[in-house]
Amino acid sequence: MKMKKVIALAVISAMIFTAFCGCGQGSGSGASSVTGDGGATAANAGKTNEYGWKLPSKTMVINYYGGQESPDDCKKYTTAMKDYLLKNFNVSLNKTVYDVDMNEKLNLMLSSGDYPECIVGMDWNTAQKWKDQGKALDLTSLVDKYGPNIKAKMGDYYKRYLDESGKLYWLAYLWGVGNCVDYAPQIRWDWYQEIGSPDISTPEKYYNALKAITAKHPTNSQGKKTYALGLWKVTTINNSFTNTFGGMWGLKHGWKVNADNSVTHWLDTNEGIEMAKYVNQFYRDGLFDPDSFTMTLDEWGAKASAERYTGFVGSWWVTGTYGNEVWKKKLGSSFNDNMRFVHVDVTAPGVKQSTFGPVNGFGSAVILTDKCKNPEDYIKWFNFENTDLGANLVGWGIPNDTGSVWTLNKDGKWAVKDSVKKTLTENEATFNYDAEQKEGGECEMAMTPGCAPRDGGYDIWINQSFKDKWKVRKDTTLKNDLFDFTSFLSISIPSDDPLADINQQVGDIANNAWAKAITARTSDECAQIITDARAAAQKAGIGKLEQFYSDNYKKNVTKYGK
Amino acid sequence: MASLQATSTRRTKERQARGKRWAKLKNQRELWIITVVMLIWVAIFAYYPMFGVIIAFKKYYPGQSFLASPWVGFKYFQQFFASNDFLKIMRNTLAISGLNLLFGFPAPIILALLINEVTRKPWKRFVQTVSYIPHFLSWVVVASLAYTFLGNEGLLNQVLINMHVIGQPINYLGEGKYFWGIITVADIWKEIGWGSIIYLSAISGIDDELYQAGAVDGLGRFGMVWHITLPGIMNTIVLLWILGIGDILNAGFEQQLLLGNELTRDFYEVIDTYAYRYGLQLGNYSYGTAVDLMKGIISVSLVFFTNWFTRKKLDLAIL
């Protein structure tokens, strides 16, 4: 009997204990949120530091949700900056992240009513939803009073963020047009030179060159087959591969812009069929990795690192990370600097200009929510971010430290370290990005800076401020591909609009058709798949989607001037 | 007078009944103390949130109040039934869960019967333990293993090519016609060991004397299984069958998202993945809730129907 009571008590205690263990404050999905105590001493209060920042008498606390990131990484990369800001600015800057999709998390936050004071990096659909629900503060008078640098820096861009009544409910993270094209066709440069560097300015010539290289290098050093092209599984309706291939045919972000500024989805265009048939040719000739639609990015990366691809159509950082950076580490002194993927400009016949570089100058949204107790503090901080020194700090990290990329003296004079300039311009693969990020660089805690180049050619990204010969080559080759497509990319579909469902359905149909068309056995079958998908998309309502985007694009072109 | 006596008698009986109930409660107090904690947990985490299904009938968006959102009636249910993908989703859901029931349901029973026949205890324990391990692997790991095994350069293709069974690799993960088979096999591989535990436990409850009597009657090993073991665990089988039928619209979620891809979308999209993509991801919680509520109602109805059916035919039921 006594034993029975003891066991019962033990079981009850265990259950109650575990039940309470499960209760917590948002830590289940791995949040990282570090709050700070008061930093600078009372003696420093009111003084102006070398950045021109006047230290507040009371610690300024800024809490924000920064999107999807590993909380462990966030902690690693924000600790030094947090301490620095507390000590030198009397600002406690606290970034919270969760390792879950940002939009899903924001929806849950909105429904639970548990959300932070500031959110950075929202897409514009979601920002609109928060504004419509009255959760986003009106910032107009606050920016007028506390944010002169914001308005000065943004210039004409500022007006783009005002709503129909002239009010401002959001600012932007990484607004403006940068100076580099990120996505384009690429070719393995040393192998390309081996075959005599032929002209690869058209899709057919690009195909021929890749075919010749693959014939010359049919297997890698382990005897595994090489391919001209390989992709990985896409899980979003926005397919960067169709967008980039479409650039060869003048499609902009997967859309055709017609003479009257109406827009047509690639699935509804002849260019879309040409694009699919082109890639299908790679597949039928055994030059396209058949695992392209089943493998993840990591699996693709393993193959890329094993030198199994002679070309790629996509971003430069992926082929850098899995390509030349890996080979440099592996081969050491026998590494040949031409062993890398280089962006090339490929334009289909009859197309005036390839369009690999559409830019959304809108950036992503930053809002202050109705839970923000001291919105003027946030605006003051954003105002500081929009100075040169502020942009340096939040973009490049803290100065004068071991891993820092720049120096700042007490008089406010700053300079990028010579060693950093040399490394970035001569041997970027050896640049220690991890050290820079640990100092808060790579925009780890940036909230509202722009990404357009500043005076002197400086950029929010240190590796865009000093480019090695490969980046210079890329930006020179693709300079005409870069264009401001804000008028289109800033269009958002309200989430309670039936068009949101149509958008998802059309995206599903398009991605499904793309995959099937590329892996078709014949060119006619490929074209038929796209035609059938077009009919399915029309049934799903692609016409309404195109009408919506056309109307809004025309409106924005009038509003923004381009 | 008579009525007063009747009332008094009734009250005495009520008092006696209350006394008996209280005595029973006092006698079982430890069990009740343990149960009360779980009942509170179930009430808070399983029953209280059910109030939220109301949003299936309202135009609710995150940030609004459940009660303040406007009523839309059966709009989202109609939207789902009328959607272009409805038939495909239902086909995929029923096919995948049907295959799971057809092959996945008997598999742990067969494994349990086989393990039960193993006489060497260390070997029996080893086999049991090894069979449980896949249950603890996440679907992310299983998907990665599937790619390694079934990819174009995977083990299976290499073996078949080396044996000259095929000349070119088969894109198992990229062809829709293989998807249902792959996901069924993966599911069975992952859960067969864990699922066999309950059957092994039921088998261990069968009286040894029955086996002795069977041996005397001349039954061989197969006969013992057919005439003694299986009937002995029939209650457990029927119980799990009834619950399994209720899961017929639960074809999975994680495994579809991880093993599926654009080439197999026509075969992998099921109710749960559809509700996730069109409901949760688009912030259209009302639509997602309506789809899942429909699924839940059908599942519960199937459970009750199967329960009634087994009670009528087999005199076995859980409710």
Distance of residue B232 Cα from the nearest chain A Cα, in angstroms: 31
Q: Looking at residue A29, what is its pLDDT?
A: 40
Q: Looking at residue A41, what is its pLDDT?
A: 55
Query: Which residue of chain A has the CA closest to B45?
Result: A19
- Cβ distance of A495 and B151 shorter than 8 Å: no
CA-based nearest residue to B186, from B94, B286, B291, B107: B107
Closest Cβ–Cβ partner in A5, A293, A295 for B262: A293
- Cβ distance of A505 and B85 shorter than 8 Å: yes
- Cβ distance of A108 and B62 shorter than 8 Å: yes
Query: Which residue of chain A has the CA closest to B152?
Result: A291
Mean pLDDT of residues grouped by 10 in chain A (562 residues)? 72 73 48 45 76 93 95 95 94 95 90 93 90 93 95 90 93 89 95 96 97 97 96 85 95 96 96 97 96 93 97 94 92 91 96 93 94 96 95 95 93 93 88 91 92 86 90 92 92 84 93 96 97 96 97 92 77
Q: Looking at residue B148, what is its pLDDT?
A: 93
Q: Does B284 touch chain A (CB under 8 A)?
A: yes
- Cβ distance of B262 and A104 shorter than 8 Å: no
Query: Which residue of chain B has the CA closest to A298?
Result: B144
Distances (CA, A) of A551 to A262, A487, A544, A556, B311: 7, 11, 11, 9, 63
Q: Looking at residue A179, what is its pLDDT?
A: 78
Segments of chain B scoring below 50 in pLDDT: none
Report pTM. Answer: 0.85
Say what the alpha-carbon torsion angle A432, A434, A436, A437 is, to the nearest 10 degrees. 160
Name every chain A residue with its beta carbon within 8 A of the beta carbon of B283: 103, 107, 126, 129, 495
Closest Cβ–Cβ partner in A133, A290, A512 for B152: A290
- Cβ distance of B262 and A19 shorter than 8 Å: no
Tally the residues of chain A: 562
Q: Does B158 touch chain A (CB under 8 A)?
A: no
- Test the B interface: residue of A235, A241, A294, A300 with most B CBs within 10 Å: A294
Give the count of Cβ contacts less than 8 A between chain A and B.
113
Question: Is 0.85 exceeded by the ipTM?
Answer: no
Q: Does B285 touch chain A (CB under 8 A)?
A: yes
Q: Looking at residue A19, what is its pLDDT?
A: 63
Distances (CA, A) of A238 to A255, A511, B46, B69, B258: 12, 9, 37, 31, 19
168-197 in B: which are within 8 Å (CB) of A?
Answer: 169, 171, 173-174
Q: Looking at residue A28, what is its pLDDT?
A: 39
Query: Which residue of chain A has the CA closest to B175?
Result: A516
Q: Looking at residue A144, what is its pLDDT?
A: 95
- Cβ distance of B41 and A293 shorter than 8 Å: no
- Cβ distance of A293 and B263 shorter than 8 Å: yes
pLDDT in tens, A382-396: 999 999 999 999 999
Q: Looking at residue A36, what is its pLDDT?
A: 43
Q: Are B80 and B290 in contact (CB under 8 A)?
A: yes
Q: Looking at residue A20, what is its pLDDT?
A: 67
Task: Tell how strand A118-122 and strand A60-68 pair up.
Answer: parallel
